[in-house]
Amino acid sequence: MTRPDEARFAGLLREHKAILHKVAFTYAGNPEDRRDLVQEMAIQLWRSFPRFDGRVKFSTWAYRVSMNVAVSWLRGEHRRPRDTVPIEDLEHEIAATESTLGEASDNMRVLRGLIEGLDELNRALILLYLDGHGADEIAEILGITPGNVTTRVNRLKQRLQEGFARLEQPLEKTA
């Protein structure tokens, strides 16, 4: 990568780094893993950047790369010993994710529980849905049809309702 490309990449990464943190939040349960995962995603984005040809939006491409790294990471393909890069870089960013997404409210804790119960592909789907993407864009990122996205989102909604129903049952019994 040439110097101007590096500068362009750094600018784009700064602008879209929330994507990395949101994906890491969806796939990794603790701050240490999240920090490692953000680093892996950033490095893979950097390595892959020469192939980015602008046919899709940078954010779409960044979601694809980050989610591909995260899915592989969850399957154990990407895990490395934690000895590679100085860590001090990401402490504040990881803390920001924790305070805004992790412990923000009861609903966010419920959401976290729901996400943790999903497999790696449905985690990607729910994150994209929560992030406000439409079926077409989600389909473009995941490589499935928009109709399939709609069906799967509906299943997730149903699953959430069933989850709440299960939570409420013991309360009703004790009431």
Partner 1 sequence: MNITLEDLRSEWAGHARRLEEQLRTTTQIAREDWIERQRDRVRAAGPFRWFEIMVWVASIALLGSFLAANVASPALFVTAAVIDVWVIATGVTAVRQQHAVRSLDYGMPVTSLQARVESLRVSRIRAFNVSFLTGQIVWWIPFFVVFMRGVFGVDLYANPWFVDFALINLAAGVAIIPLAIWIARRYGDRLAKTSAIRHIADSIAGRDIAAAREAIEKLRRFEA
Q: Where on the chain is the footprint of partner 1 (CB under 8 A)?
A: 6, 9-11, 13-14, 17-18, 20-22, 38, 42-44, 46-48, 51-52, 61, 64-65, 67-69, 71-72, 75, 77, 84-86, 89-90, 92-93, 96-97, 99-101, 104-105, 107-108, 110-111, 119, 121, 124, 129-132, 140-144, 148, 153, 156-157, 160-161, 164, 167-168
Least spacing, CB of residue 6 vs partner 1, in Å: 6
- For every residue of 53-100, DSSP letters joined together read -SSS-HHHHHHHHHHHHHHHHHTTSS---TTSS-SGGGHHHHHHHIII
Contact 160, 126 (CB under 8 A): no
Phi/psi region, residue 125 (left: phi>0; alpha: psi -120 to 50; beta: rest), is: alpha
CB closer to partner 1 out of 29 and 88: 88
Least spacing, CB of residue 126 vs partner 1, in Å: 8
CB closer to partner 1 out of 135 and 141: 141
CB closer to partner 1 out of 33 and 46: 46
Q: Is 145 helix (H, G, I), strand (E, B) or coil?
A: coil
Distance CA 65, CA 68 (A): 5
Least spacing, CB of residue 76 vs partner 1, in Å: 10
Q: Which two tokens stand for residue 136?
A: 């077409």
Least spacing, CB of residue 21 vs partner 1, in Å: 7
Contact 34, 1 (CB under 8 A): no
Least spacing, CB of residue 124 vs partner 1, in Å: 6
The counts of H helices and E strands in the chain are 8, 0
Contact 135, 150 (CB under 8 A): yes
CB closer to partner 1 out of 18 and 31: 18
CB closer to partner 1 out of 90 and 135: 90
